[in-house]
């Protein structure tokens, strides 16, 4: 075996080794600082805390992907109900948001594993649809969702507000596609 082929096979083995060690679990209070990803998402500190409180009340489900020795390397949140029933109505439709994987761990199957896990969980809870929004400027993510059975159903203006870590409300404008996956 030549050197480049050996290096390629070693890379595949190392990816499968770390991927096999990843544990998907619900967020605990002590995870909240790790969701800030070394300062990249500090501005969402209050959003994460509010999401955690919603999860404690049974209105949301917050998942993390944890790799021993590396900590939280991914996250995905599910809202079971919200003020926009076309996204989550508390009975038949849930909403996926805040789906992130740290860059060094992308394109190795972790996203697929996380999507499959949350899909199975919402179906087990009796939901027949899972919705999400994906930025129009993120065609790679849209293609990934389409590979997993999501279909575009509408355009979203993507305007939303949140209190940053200092309590100042921020306005975000992210034109997006609303996508849905249904039990077939």
φ, ψ for residue 118 (rounded to 5)? -70, -35
pLDDT at 16: 59
What CA–CA distance (Å, rounded) separates 26 from 181? Answer: 22
The CATH number that applies at residue 130 is 3.40.630.30
pLDDT at 184: 77
φ, ψ for residue 124 (rounded to 5)? -60, -30
The answer to whether position 118 is within a domain reads yes
pLDDT in tens, 162-181: 999 999 999 999 999 999 99
The answer to whether position 2 is within a domain reads no
What CA–CA distance (Å, rounded) separates 21 from 58? Answer: 28
Mean pLDDT rounded to a whole number for the chain: 92
The answer to whether position 73 is within a domain reads yes
Residue span of the structural domain in which 51 resides = 20-182
Split into its structural domains, the chain has a count of 1
The answer to whether position 120 is within a domain reads yes
What CA–CA distance (Å, rounded) separates 52 from 77? Answer: 10
Is the pLDDT at 4 greater than 70, yes or no?
Answer: no
Q: pLDDT grade, residue 14 (50/70/90)? A: low
Q: What is the mean pLDDT of residues 56-68?
A: 97
What count of other Cβ atoms lies within 10 Å of the Cβ of residue 61?
Answer: 21
183 secondary structure, DSSP code = -
- Of 4-8, 124-128, 132-136, 168-172, minimum mean pLDDT range: 4-8
Which of residues 12 and 139 earns the better pLDDT score? 139
The answer to whether position 11 is within a domain reads no
């Amino acid at each position: 075996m030549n050197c480049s082929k050996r290096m390629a096979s070693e890379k595949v083995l190392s990816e499968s080794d770390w991927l096999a060690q990843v544990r998907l679990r619900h967020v605990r209070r002590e995870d909240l600082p790790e969701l800030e990803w070394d300062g990249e998402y500090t501005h969402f500190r209050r959003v994460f805390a509010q999401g955690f409180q919603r999860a404690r009340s049974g209105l949301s489900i917050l998942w993390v992907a944890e790799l021993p020795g590396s900590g939280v390397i991914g996250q995905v949140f599910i809202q079971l109900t919200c003020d926009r029933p076309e996204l989550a109505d508390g009975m038949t439709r849930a909403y996926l948001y805040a789906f992130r994987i740290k860059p060094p761990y992308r394109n190795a199957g972790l996203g697929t594993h996380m999507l499959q896990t949350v899909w199975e969980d919402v179906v087990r809870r009796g939901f027949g649809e899972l919705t999400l929004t994906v930025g129009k400027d993120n065609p790679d993510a849209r293609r990934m969702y389409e590979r997993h059975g999501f279909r575009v159903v509408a355009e979203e203006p993507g305007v939303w507000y949140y209190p940053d870590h200092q309590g100042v409300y921020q306005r975000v404008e992210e034109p997006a596609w609303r996508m849905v996956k249904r039990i077939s």
